[in-house]
Structure 1
Amino acid sequence: MKERKEGLVSVVIPCYNAAPFIEDCLDGLKSQTYEKTEVILINDASTDHTQKIAEKWIKNSKAPFQTILCNLPVNAGFAGALTVGYFMSSGEYIAVNDADDISHPQRFEKQVDFLLKNPDYDLIGSNYQVFYDPKLKEGGQKSNWLKYGDSIRKCYGEGGHCVSHGTILFRGKVFDMFGGPTRRIDGAEDYEFIVKFLNAKLKIENLKDVLYYYRDHDQQRSKTFYGGEKSE
Structure 2
Amino acid sequence: MSPAFSVLMPVYAGDDPSHLEAALRSVVDQSVRPDEIVIVEDGPLTDALSDVLDSYERAQGDHFSRYRLRENVGIGNALRVGVRRCEHELVARMDADDISVPDRFERQLAVFERRPDVDVVGGYIAEFDDDPDDCFACRIVPTNHTSIAARARFRNPMNHITVMARRRAILEAGNYRDFLGMEDYDLWVRMLSNEATFANVPSVLAKARIDRDYGQRGGLSVTKAEVRLQRSFYRSGFIDAPILLYNLLTRASVRLLPKRIRGRLITRYTRTPG
What TM-score do you get using the length of structure 2 for normalisation? 0.72
Counterparts of 1:102 and 1:65, CA distance in 2: 23
Other-structure match for 2:225 = none
Mapped contact 1:37–1:65 kept (Cα < 8 A): no
Mean Cα deviation higher: 172-181 or 79-88: 172-181
Q: 7, 11, 15: which one pairs with 1:11?
A: 7
- The residue number in structure 2 matching 1:171 is 166
Distance in 1 of aligned mates of 2:180 and 2:33:
34
Letter in 2 for 1:7: P
2:7 touches 2:93 (CA, 8 Å); kept in 1? yes
The answer to whether residue 198 in structure 2 is matched with residue 204 in structure 1 is: yes
What is the match of residue 140 of structure 1? 135
Q: How many residues align?
A: 219
For 1:43-64, what per-residue CA distance to the aligned partner results, in whole angstroms no more than 9, with x for missing partners?
A: 10145332233113322xx348
Q: Going by fraction, where is strand more abundant, 1 or 2?
A: 1
Aligned-residue Cα RMSD (Å) equals: 2.6
Q: Tell me the residue number matched to 2:55.
A: 56
**Which letter maps to 2:148?**
I
Aligned amino acid, residue 45 of structure 1 = G
Return the offset for 1:197.
Answer: 1.4
Shift of 1:36: 4.3
TM-score (normalizing by structure 1) = 0.84
Map 1:44-123 onto structure 2 (within 5 A): 44-49=42-47, 50-59=49-58, 62-63=59-60, 66-123=63-120
Q: Verify: 1:193 aligned to 2:187, yes or no.
A: yes
Aligned to 1:31: 29
Q: How far apart are 1:42 and its partner, in Å?
A: 0.7
Unaligned runs of 5+ in 2: 223-254
Change (3 A) 1:125 1:64: farther
1:132-183 Cα shifts (integer Å, max 9, x gaps) = 23xx4133134245222222111113x3222111110001221342332112
Structure with the bigger RCO (C-alpha within 8 Å, sep 6+) is 1
Aligned to 2:128: 131
In structure 2, what residue type is equivalent to 1:10?
S
Deviations 1:45-89 (A, max 9, x none): 145332233113322xx3487111112111121111111111110
Quick one: percent identity of the two aligned structures?
Answer: 24
Deviation at residue 34 of structure 1 after TM alignment: 1.0
Code of the residue aligned with 2:42 in structure 1: it is D
Q: Which residue of 2 aligns with 1:154?
A: 150
Closer/same/farther in 2, CA of residues 144 and 29 from structure 1, 3 Å limit: closer
Task: After the TM superposition, list the runs of 4 or more consecutive aligned residues in structure 1 that deviate by more than 6 angstroms.
Answer: none
* SS of structure 2 residue aligned to 1:34: coil
Task: Determine if contact 2:6/2:91 at 8 Å carries over to the other structure.
Answer: yes
CA distance in 2, matches of 1:15, 1:113: 28
Structure 1: state its 5+ residue gaps: 1-5
